[in-house]
Structure 1
Amino acid sequence: MSWQSPISPGVSWYETTVGERPEYAPMSGSCETDIAIVGGGFTGLQAAYTLARKGVRVVLIEAHRFGDGASGRNGGQLGTGQRAWPEELEEDLGYERSKGLFDLAEHAKQYIHEFSASENLDIEYVPGQMNVSHKAGLEKYYRANPEIAAKRYGYAHSTFMDKAETQERLGSTRYIFGVRDTGTGHIHPMKLLVGIAKAAKAAGAVLHEKTPAIKVDRVGGKAVITTAKGTITADKALIACNAYIGNLEPKTAAHVMPIRSFIGATPVLDKFPKIIPGGESVADSRFVVRYFRKSRDGRLLFGGREAYTADNPRDITQHIRRQIAEIYPELSNIEIPHAWGGSVGITMSRQPYAREVMPGITSIGGYSGHGVMLSNYCGKLYADAATGSSAELDMLKEFKIPAFPGGPRFRSPLLFLAMTWYALRDKL
């Protein structure tokens, strides 16, 4: 029987196809350790795995089940680079920093493949990704991107697609050009997450599910994590809660905002061979992005509808089916046997938030929809920094991430107004 997450609506297709999903006992009683981790998503579990492999004592707690948050329920797309194209970052940060951040993302991509191979995980990797545009005015940017990536960033895997190629590769006339990237792809995120947890435990990390943190503080030179059943006292701590930070740590909450995102999975599309015949993943040019892909077994996984409150829709399938039909009218009546949602952590600048929020206590999150690669790698980078140094994590810490305006009371209403405005712009 599938576990119904108390924080995320719907039972995902990932949950029904992941196979064995081990449970980890809640924490009972207090303990001392070298490093404490709050949050059992990609970032926290990868940090625990790497630290344990280095011989560090580490205790990780997760408020619910591993995979209930974004790490186990996302679109599964790896992408390339940061959230913004490298030429955009270059305008703001200069070439040297932009190139360093691009290389960091490539290392992140490579790390997922190397980790999966080392742990013998089948994460259902399918190569290929397409970024497509619904606006003619963006053509010069899309044409320039592959050439810039090749000449300035050493990335020769992307090509411009004209209208005919775009529509043939998508099996849809909805988009008018795009960029195809053969150097990346998409995965089954829950299979990766379950594999990381198993590997972390095998390496010696102590893992606890269903153990919410009530308070994180610095007391007498130690990090102290308070739970309902006891405390964890550690030399250092990592907060890896991302969109689910709540009121646990105010600096992170001011900079990382949750938005709700929803995904639906169709049956296998045997009767529709022209829909994404190459099996790539797709993301479009909307600010409120629509992202979809073919799973390895040939079903359409479509994510698009977003909400800027904590409320969940009564019927996820209705909204998802409507957006699918805009791109694939032939699927207007398609069955959607699995529909689910969850919270994505975004920042004002759409760049990751990595900060020491208290002495010895680091918070990392805010991947802004680009987190499958980055969240995994940031967990490793934190472990490297905690046991020595990490120039790459230092690069992320240099991002100037403004707090969301409005304070705790008005932050969400102001975000709702801003995102509604961008959603209206997407329709123009």
Structure 2
Amino acid sequence: MRLLQLDQELQRGSYYAATAAREAAQPPLQGLHEADVAVVGGGLAGLNAALELAERGMDVALLEADLVGSGASGRNGGQALHGLACDHSVIEGQLGPEGARQVWDMSLEALALIQERCARHHIDAEWRSGYLCLATSPRKAQALKLWTEHMNQRYDSQLRWIYPAELDQWIDSPRYHAGLHDPRSGHLHPLKYCLGLARAAQAAGVRVFEHSPVTALEHGRSVLLRTAFGQLRARQVLLAGNAYLPAFAPQLAPELSARIMPVGTYIVCTEPLQPQRLQALMPSGSAVCDSNFVLDYFRPTADHRLLYGGRVSYSTATPRRLVASMRQRLVQSFPSLCDVELPYAWGGFVDITMNRAPDFGRLGQAQNVYYLQGFSGHGVALTGLAGRVVAEAMHGDAARFDTFARLRHRAFPGGALLRTPALVLGMTYYRLKDLL
């Protein structure tokens, strides 16, 4: 329960919560209900899946332990990016050229799906196209350029390389050396997107129950889920709680918990800046992240603020003097912003896998309990695609879902007591590599 207590504390300073209007909470599950599909988790993955299933004519009930969008789905950096969190060579190594190409193409479909959903369901998620990945040294720029050339040649990815001499046309910062631009990726207000998806799902007939953590799951040809005050029986179930599923209900799928680890991520947001000042710093208005393993990321908001994320905690402990340490990182990238106020500072937990690839599959002898997890901080776009392919599988066509399910995953080493210290030690190595 320590993770949940820390998470509640990290919610309080969220810029997103302060700028997104919530409707009245949905009632918790009470009594006995039935559905074709039960979805556990009201974040981006669960909501996208529920909407897809309802649009295919299935009766769907969604159980959320807290409020829809209250977890990482409504508190992240808002960057919707191509590809996966892992380097695409991981996918090439496991699935071969054809499977890797299919996964890359589906990641681009995920980006188009966001804009399609916003247009169709009138979701004002503040979408803005454009993404910059920037290198902090000539050595890292060379590695990033080679990756860009590989992706353009093998996948026709249409990424534009930005040489050092032209970088100031894209960003006014002394920290970066060169980079790439992707016009198809972009950024949005994730909580507004979550809440818009929830409204669309309910309009399509999905029954949403908030404050309904699942306490037990009984496998069979039909599955029974229990909450504190109710029961839900369904022919098929989707577990989409990510890092929060082990925290709220570790007994549901302990074999899944061993393959993911919760990682704390942290963000600050500035006071509103003069539009001309923000435009001068980031002329393209793109989302930005660096190419380090432990990276910084930032983007302009629709109301002319700069939202800046960085720092991660692999021990789940919130960094001391969070605002001061985040200010230091922001000023490294933009020295001219040393005088700005940071009225918002918050964080949350994402689930990572050992290889940073997503972990999708089925549980139980009847194979009617599906799961989506391990987005590894790259889920704003990919969760939409995940919701679509799991809905296809539940509706009878599992080809695309099974492409992801073929990816192999290992449990984190060290067992219950030592896996967190082992992860902290391993990440120290990568932090040191980032400094080179």
Shorter-chain TM-score: what band?
Answer: over 0.9
**Superposition pairs of residues 265-414 of structure 1, within 5 angstroms:** 265-270=269-274, 271-313=277-319, 315-358=321-364, 359-414=367-422
User: Runs (4+) of structure 1 moved beyond 6 Å?
Assistant: none
Taking structure 1 as reference, are residues 88 and 308 closer, same or farther at Cα in structure 2, changes over 3 Å only?
A: closer
Shift of 1:273: 4.1
Q: How far 1:368 sits from its partner (Å)?
A: 0.8
User: Is the CA contact 2:61–2:207 (under 8 Å) kept in the aligned structure 1?
Assistant: yes
Q: Which runs of 5+ in 2 are unaligned?
A: 1-5
* Paired position in structure 1 for 2:60: 58
Contact 1:213 1:227 in 2 (8 A): yes
Aligned residue among 48, 58, 79 for 1:77: 79
Go from structure 1 to structure 2 and tell me whether the alpha carbon gap of 1:221 and 1:400 turns closer, same or farther (over 3 Å shift): same
Matched length: 423
Alignment correspondent of 1:122: 124
In structure 2, the CA distance between the partners of 1:106 and 1:47, relative to structure 1 (3 Å rule), is: same
Return closer, same or farther for 1:210/1:116 CA change in 2, 3 Å cut-off: same
Residue equivalent to 1:418: 426
Question: 1:167: how far off?
Answer: 4.0
**Higher mean displacement: 171-180 or 242-251:** 242-251
Shift of 1:185: 0.9
Question: Taking structure 1 as the reference length, what is the TM-score of the superposition?
Answer: 0.94
Q: How does 1:160-309 map to 2 (within 5 A)?
A: 160-218=161-219, 220-246=220-246, 247=250, 248-270=252-274, 271-309=277-315
- Tell me, yes or no, if the aligned pair for 2:264 and 2:312 is still in contact at 8 Å: yes
Judge conservation of contact 1:42–1:375 (CA < 8 Å) in 2.
yes
SS of 1:405's equivalent?
Answer: coil
- Contact 1:5–1:68 at 8 Å: present in 2 too? no
TM-score w.r.t. length of structure 2: 0.92
Question: Residues 405 and 379 from structure 1, CA distance in 2 versus in 1: closer, same or farther, beyond 3 angstroms?
Answer: same
Separation (CA, whole Å) in 2 of partners of 1:146 and 1:309: 33
| One-letter amino acid of the structure 2 residue matched with residue 251 of structure 1 | E
Separation of aligned partners in 1, 2:267 and 2:181: 23
Is the contact between residue 38 and residue 234 of structure 2 (CA under 8 Å) also seen in structure 1? yes
Equivalent position SS for 1:170: coil
Structure 1, unaligned stretches of length 5 or more? none
Q: Map 1:65-144 onto structure 2 (within 5 A).
A: 65-86=67-88, 89-90=91-92, 93-144=95-146
Distance in 2 (alpha carbons) for counterparts of 1:225 and 1:174: 51
For 1:226-277, what per-residue CA distance to the aligned partner results, in whole angstroms no more than 9, with x for missing partners?
2111221111111001111221421111112110001111022214542112
CA distance in 1, matches of 2:216, 2:141: 49
Tell me which residue corresponds to 2:3: none
Spell out, residue by residue over 1:116-160, the C-alpha distance to the aligned partner (whole angstroms, 9 max, x if none).
Answer: 11101121111110001113223333223444333321222x211
**Alpha-carbon RMSD:** 1.9
> Alpha-carbon deviation of 1:187?
0.8
Percentage of pairs with the same residue: 36
Secondary structure of 2:215's partner?
strand
CA shift in 2, pair 1:277/1:21, >3 Å: farther
Tell me, yes or no, if the aligned pair for 2:77 and 2:298 is still in contact at 8 Å. Answer: yes
State how far apart, in whole Å, the 2-side matches of 1:142 and 1:424 are.
18
